Structure 1
Amino acid sequence: MTESPSVDLAAMLCSRLCHDLLSPVGAFANGLELLATEKDSAMRQNCIELLEQSAVISTNKLKFFRLAFGAAGGFGERVAVDEARDLIDAMVADKGRIEVEWAIGEANLAKSAVKVLLNLAQIATDTLVRGGTLTIGAERRSGACEIVVRASGPKIAFDETLGHALDGTLAAEELSSRTAAAHMIHLLAVQDGGQLQFAVEPDALVLGAILPESGDLIG
């Protein structure tokens, strides 16, 4: 029996979440194991610092994925931009060598727009394999929310499969934990008459979204 497309997508998103949490949770487990056997006070302090760091990273990732992938029931129909900014800043800090520039004048955005914004920011961040600059902008005009995320750096690692996921031409057999988030936000956008766009160059990637504000994309 074959799974339904929605079940496949949910499974792939869960795989992505587990993949990203494996490292900090594994480090947490290692730290606990070392703490249980280590007698030297200096080494025990190092273990405690490792545990604290792993706990912070794990918590930040869970907060990010809760809003980026999940229903995020704790939020209203609109989400404060500062909330999204904190989540993205924490995600980028974990990567290192990436500077974030913000160009959002709005105090809040529709929850669906924030979901798209977070996922575009994650996709763009993942392409900056040698570091660089992540520029994030969003504004509401003419009854729609327009989002632009630009990644610029010495090397942009953007697989064309992600592009297919964003523009809706992804073949079913190409759905994976790498492409699931891009495919999800494509579905969210077209559900309410919106669209996603992208343009890639050797040293820059621009991701965009136009999302009508007449109704919420995620219901």
Structure 2
Amino acid sequence: MKSYEFASLLCSRLCHDLLSPVGALNNGLELLADETDPEMRERCLELLADSARASANKLKFFRLAFGAAGGFGDEVETREARAAIEGLFGAEGKVDIDWMVAEERMSKSALKVLLNLVLLGGDALVRGGTLAIGAEKHGSGIDIVVRAEGSRIIIDPELKKALVGDCNEEDIAPRAAAAWLVHCLVTDGGGQVQVADGEEGVLVFGASLPA
């Protein structure tokens, strides 16, 4: 897949995810302009604040997961990733974050793999649940595990195929952009990606990247 085609997939994914909170901001402003009741105006302002917060949380996460965040160095502090994950998935209280990453810094590519696996796991928890996130460096590289557990888990089969590379590049849809990015980052680095969803209510992603 050419770089501009992949960039188009990512842009489509970003626009899809940002459409809801930005649209809510627009609707809230329209309501506020016509509303004169003080109580209703206060409610509109609360809705605007919630939508603005959701938009900011998404942008912070996407900046790390898809962009060139973290400066010009080769590594990024993992606390930035933790804050972005908690802002995106933990803010509403539907998803509990179990952070088990002892490493203070990770390479940019490894951090992107972790964040995009978290994105896939969080999206699969349609009724909320728990996201357990782990990463451990060793002599030959780093292992990353993301475990999603909840009462109802849904993952598109196309996402699993994109993760392990069992698909044609031309058939990748915008919804699978994060999965394909993980596949490219891991395979380009000589690593492997695994998906396990045999246990009901549990979805596990694993990635191993050589040093």
Pairwise same-fold verdict (TM > 0.5): yes
Counterpart-to-counterpart distance in 2, 1:39 and 1:183: 49
Partner amino acid for 1:72? A
Task: Give, in whole Å, the separation in 2 of the partners of 1:190 and 1:19.
Answer: 27
Provide the residue aligned with 1:118 in structure 2. Answer: 115
**Residue pair 2:196, 2:203 contacting (<8 A) in 1 also:** yes
- Residue 173 of structure 1 deviates from its aligned partner by 4.1
Aligned-partner residue type, residue 12 of structure 1: L
- Pairwise CA distance, 1:76: 3.0
What are structure 1's unaligned runs of at least 5 residues? 214-219
Which of 119, 125, 131 aligns to 1:134? It is: 131
Q: Please name the residue that 2:78 is paired with.
A: 81
Instruction: Report the AA paired with residue 209 of structure 2.
Output: L
Please show how residues 150-169 of structure 1 align to structure 2 within 5 Å.
Answer: 150-169=147-166
Paired residue type of 1:141: H
Q: Counterpart of 1:31?
A: 28
| Partner deviation per Cα, 1:77-115 (whole Å, 9 max, x = no partner) | 211111101111111135652211111111111111111
Q: Which amino acid aligns with 2:20?
A: S
Query: 2:123 & 2:91 partners in 1: Cα distance?
Result: 12
C-alpha deviation, 1:161, in angstroms: 1.2
Contact 2:147–2:202 (CA<8 Å) still a contact in 1? yes
State the alpha-carbon separation in 2 of the partners of residues 160 and 118 from structure 1: 20
Q: CA RMSD in A?
A: 1.6
Correspondence for 1:209 among 204, 207, 210: 207
Q: 1:19 to 1:75 in 2, by over 3 A?
A: farther
**Alignment size in residue pairs:** 210
Q: Which residue number corresponds to residue 145 of structure 1?
A: 142
Give the Cα–Cα distance (whole angstroms) in 2 for the partners of residues 8 and 169 of structure 1.
19
Q: Counterpart in 2 of 1:50?
A: 47
- Does 1:93 find its partner at 2:90? yes
Using the TM superposition, give the Cα deviation of residue 70 of structure 1 relative to its aligned residue in structure 2, in angstroms. Answer: 1.5
User: 1:22 & 1:139 partners in 2: Cα distance?
Assistant: 35
| Offset of residue 72 of structure 1 | 2.0
Q: Find the counterpart in structure 2 of residue 17 from structure 1.
A: 14
Distance in 2 (CA, whole Å) between partners of 1:110 and 1:163 is 24
The sequence identity of aligned pairs, in percent, is 53
Equivalent of residue 67 in structure 1, options 64, 67, 77: 64
Structure 1 residue 12 displacement after superposition: 1.1
CA displacement at 1:149 relative to structure 2? 0.2
Q: Does structure 2 retain, via aligned residues, the 8 Å contact 1:152–1:203?
A: yes
